[in-house]
Structure 1
């Protein structure tokens, strides 16, 4: 009798978990990118594109040869001071690479006020609000393609965005913004996600930036990340002030790699507006 009750309770818990999951989360059938411009309104219904967006008339992204980048996991804007902090960190930046961005009406309003434009990869929707990686600049890219990789345990995708931007030195910058898979046994899914992006980057001629929350919380993951990205020919940034979020073993989770640019300065300051600290990286274009 007792065994039967326990089996029934387990079945009810499983069913409740399943229906709760279905009620909260909506998953796209494939990776999609949503184009966001400064003309959107908080009530505007954003429509995902196909896997890629193409811009027939892109404009240069740098400012007189200066390219300043912010990389930040903004924790779905769950902290009350996220807006003030994001405004401060983005003041002198030409490119924002955000992870765990939740496309709420408050974030849309912030984008409009700052005259930003860009793309969100719809990893999933939580209560009908899209969430994923988000690229923002004052110009739309030439190309933007979305990628997703399923978390094997949580069954929620992690997302990445590949985009290209014209530069004032007549080069084309390739940018990868990634939120890497986290809860896995081993590194198979982690390696697969990185290798898909590296394959695209290997065909690119010109400067490259690869950045985001790599969830590099083990030596094995760190080795995979460095091995895959070494094949692309990128160099990792080191920070004058390094307050990047660390796992309990001291390994940092957030990284930026680059190629074909001159690094001027890089810092990872402390902020209580997210569970991650931001990366601020300043580049000059090569002649």
Structure 2
């Protein structure tokens, strides 16, 4: 097959060296007999729009977007999906017929991974720790799963309250970490950046019961501090964010190629690669 027949894709970020997106999409493409060339590109701050325009001119078909360019991608898109609009960020761009289409697959990736791990979301009481962009990106897909309630706890309560107002859904409530002691949940999702710095969100041990599922959006070679803590408190199930990474990539792949790839084998392959360093 000639290079002209191979569709070109990129992932943009700064930094970008750590991105596993090219590996993930290559596996998806190989397993579905689709020929793609997927690269990663470091973009200088302020150069995102120019980089995308150059890629489109070169025949690029689509791109993933990671930090810190997701809001730039939102502004650049001509058309947005509802989930991208509500998320206030875009991680998937499609270039078609002279237009740029923006989507956000992060939340759907999280939902797919939770369901893959047999976590019940329907009529569940969900606690989300944090109120940053990551939370905004996952609320619509989580609400679509028909939970009983979603509580957003954050150090700055006003940020959590603003998110609730933005989505205007009666199942959403906001509170501070210090208000959690007497509350009961079925699922806890850590969307704070605490695990990246080796810290824990300041939540009471009483929220962890032996039938709760705890999810950390961060992943690594070893258990994150939040996962270790949840296990020590007797949580029934603990899951890190590797499956969310693969899940959001799978949804992006389906946006571009109209095929939802299998994520199970990719998660296993990545897990092995991470363990081997």
Give the alignment's TM-score, normalised by structure 1.
0.27
Query: Larger helix proportion, structure 1 or 2?
Result: 2
- The structure carrying a bigger strand percent of its residues is 1
